[in-house]
Structure 1
Amino acid sequence: MKNKTFLSIAATAAATALVLTGCSSDTSDGDNKTLKVGVFNGWDEGIATSYLWKAVLENEGYTVELQNVDAAPLFTGISEGDLDFTTDVWLPVTHEAYIEQYGDKMEDLGSWFDQAALTIAVNEDAPINSLAELADNADLFGSRIVGIESGAGLTKATQEQVQPTYGLESWNLQTSSTASMLTELKAATDAGENIVVTLWEPHWAYSAFPVKNLEDPEGALGAAESIHLYGREGFSEDHAEVATWLKNFEMSPELLYDLEDRMFNQNDDAGQYESIVEQWIADNQEYVDSLTN
């Protein structure tokens, strides 16, 4: 009788708490409508999809804050709960080390793009087609690879895999930012000069500049990867509705490249993306509507 009385009181208290807090028996976002999204600096597919989801979620009544950060602070932020989710985690290779370190404090919300790849690219008219040919043609490229951010997974893969595998240890891997790399790529291709850059697919640079990927016969850059969304621990419980939408998110290369091209190539007002995304949504309304169905 004592146990039954205790259970009855506990059940009544739980039911009362649900009424007082306005909660229902199923998980919902309730009044928690603010989301902080981590965006990798310089990774255009992540920037594009983050702005897309910002617009979609704000249309659904959420307040969305985008925070631009490098890889290490982004994963730290999600694992510590300071950020809610990110759209641009590459697996199984590029961000493997971060997932090994922080994965048990994060939620994998699934993959939205499965044709991603790290690449080393050169100008389209360069007289080589393989990474295996680079070392013997150092003079053509000034023994220099133009890279992106120093903390990027692509930079690490180039330093630890590509350079030792293909005898490029003496080459200078110039790290700065993705924007600087693209500036140099444009300048070189406009001038008809040779250049080697670290790049990746998906990226609008392939449609904007005359470039080609170098073959990777030793597989130093790994096979094709998938791009995942990751949330903080407990995200699906706290934001069940949004988590469901994100888990069902998919985007074709054609749609992604079109959005990226408008944001980063055709855009004369750098960093001002809201109006461009708004117009893109209007032009692709059926697809955008499907994201929250």
Structure 2
Amino acid sequence: MKHYSKLAAVAAVAALGLTACGSGGEAGGQAASGLDNGDQQDVTIAVFNGWDEGIAASELWKAILEEKGYKVTLEYADPAPVFSGLSTGDYDLTLDTWLPVTHESYLEEYGDKITELGQWNDEAKLTIAVNEDAPVDSLKDLAANADKFDNRLVGIEPGAGLTEATTKNVIPTYGLDKMEYLTSSTPAMLSELKSATAAGENIAVTLWRPHWAYDAFPLKDLEDPEGTLGDTEGIYAYSSTSFAEDFPTLAGWLKDFKMDSETLYSLENAMFNEADTDDYGPVVEKWIGENQEYVDGLTAK
């Protein structure tokens, strides 16, 4: 808002409509694109490729916010460009930061240029999972039984924190160097997992909790006696440094956001297991209707 001298006060009042969109055009533009709660209207949420809990949480918040008048864009990318984009303000927030292990290297690089909004789930865990009736129960026995798994470990995206932990920690610690470690995408891993379990074949995959695959397929986690995949982690929302100023109301909602794994499993199952569609909007709307009290509570303050 510009300050005017007494000499120009009368003219300023008379030309109020012009100053709102003239040399005050920026201010007028911001007001037009803002919401009554003080937030900007346009919000961009960065979503990690293939990480279903982040996709589910992002789609849920997209539905919630659009109902309240926001214009929400979900942009999919691997973790490196997401954290880089948050640091430059190209993205407003992401809901799928795992700490203290999985995304530690990105926080070391960008931590002073991004802002933590809060932890919304405290039950996250990186895993190596196998079919429930597999002949091994621990990672320490996998190398000796590699032939029973066709000498393959099926992974996800090359840029994922889980992939980094598997490459740098799991494989050298447990002598899995002779197994073929396949990385491509989470959908490709899940496709192989589905085919193998349906055929009664052994398979070893990199996975994580919470994930709907544990409800959909007969799986067990291999014990990790050396702790190569870390302890239980938290899932956090992170934003650009200007987020709280640009979205004071939404920042408050996200700081209070909590979602336990059972609730998350329910949403993930509805989106990725029970529905055969990539159009998540109607699926999420139906889930919201079935969980209205919980959803209403997310924006009650």
TM-score (norm 1): 0.90
Q: Is the Cα contact below 8 Å between 2:129 and 2:221 reproduced in 1? A: yes
Q: Which residue identity is paired with 1:80?
A: T
Q: Is the Cα contact below 8 Å between 2:66 and 2:72 reproduced in 1? A: yes
Tell me which residue corresponds to 2:121.
113
Measure, in 1, the Cα distance between the counterparts of 2:53 and 2:39.
30
How far off is 1:29 after superposition? 6.0
For 1:162-173, what aligned pairs fall within 5 Å after superposition? 162-173=170-181
Q: Which residue identity is paired with 1:121?
A: A
Q: Is the Cα contact below 8 Å between 1:129 and 1:215 reproduced in 2? A: yes
**Over aligned residues, Cα RMSD in angstroms?**
2.3
Gaps of 5+ in 2: 6-12, 14-19, 31-35
- Which of 55, 66, 70 is equivalent to 1:47? 55
Measure, in 2, the Cα distance between the counterparts of 1:105 and 1:60.
29
Tell me which residue corresponds to 1:273.
280
Tell me whether 1:234 sits opposite 2:242 in the alignment.
yes
Tell me whether 1:155 sits opposite 2:174 in the alignment.
no
Tell me whether 1:192 sits opposite 2:200 in the alignment.
yes
Tell me which residue corresponds to 2:187.
179
For 1:22-101, what aligned pairs fall within 5 Å after superposition? 30=38, 32-101=40-109
Measure, in 2, the Cα distance between the counterparts of 1:65 and 1:178.
22
Q: Is the Cα contact below 8 Å between 1:147 and 1:174 reproduced in 2? A: yes
Q: Is the Cα contact below 8 Å between 2:39 and 2:247 reproduced in 1? A: no
Tell me which residue corresponds to 2:17.
none
Count residues in correspondence: 278
Tell me which residue corresponds to 1:128.
136
Q: Is the Cα contact below 8 Å between 1:85 and 1:230 reproduced in 2? A: yes
Q: Is the Cα contact below 8 Å between 2:38 and 2:249 reproduced in 1? A: no
Q: Which residue identity is paired with 1:272?
A: D
Q: Which residue identity is paired with 1:59?
A: E
Measure, in 2, the Cα distance between the counterparts of 1:76 and 1:191.
42
Measure, in 2, the Cα distance between the counterparts of 1:42 and 1:201.
14
Q: Is the Cα contact below 8 Å between 1:29 and 1:238 reproduced in 2? A: no
Measure, in 1, the Cα distance between the counterparts of 2:37 and 2:267.
29
Q: Which residue identity is paired with 1:35?
A: V
Q: Which residue identity is paired with 1:82?
A: D
Q: Is the Cα contact below 8 Å between 2:39 and 2:248 reproduced in 1? A: no
Measure, in 1, the Cα distance between the counterparts of 2:170 and 2:61.
34
How far off is 1:30 after superposition? 3.7
Measure, in 1, the Cα distance between the counterparts of 2:236 and 2:165.
19
Tell me which residue corresponds to 1:144.
152
Q: Which residue identity is paired with 1:264?
A: F
Q: Is the Cα contact below 8 Å between 1:110 and 1:247 reproduced in 2? A: yes
Measure, in 1, the Cα distance between the counterparts of 2:56 and 2:286.
13
TM-score (norm 2): 0.88
Gaps of 5+ in 1: 1-8, 10-15
Measure, in 1, the Cα distance between the counterparts of 2:238 and 2:39.
22
* Percentage identity across paired residues of the two chains: 59
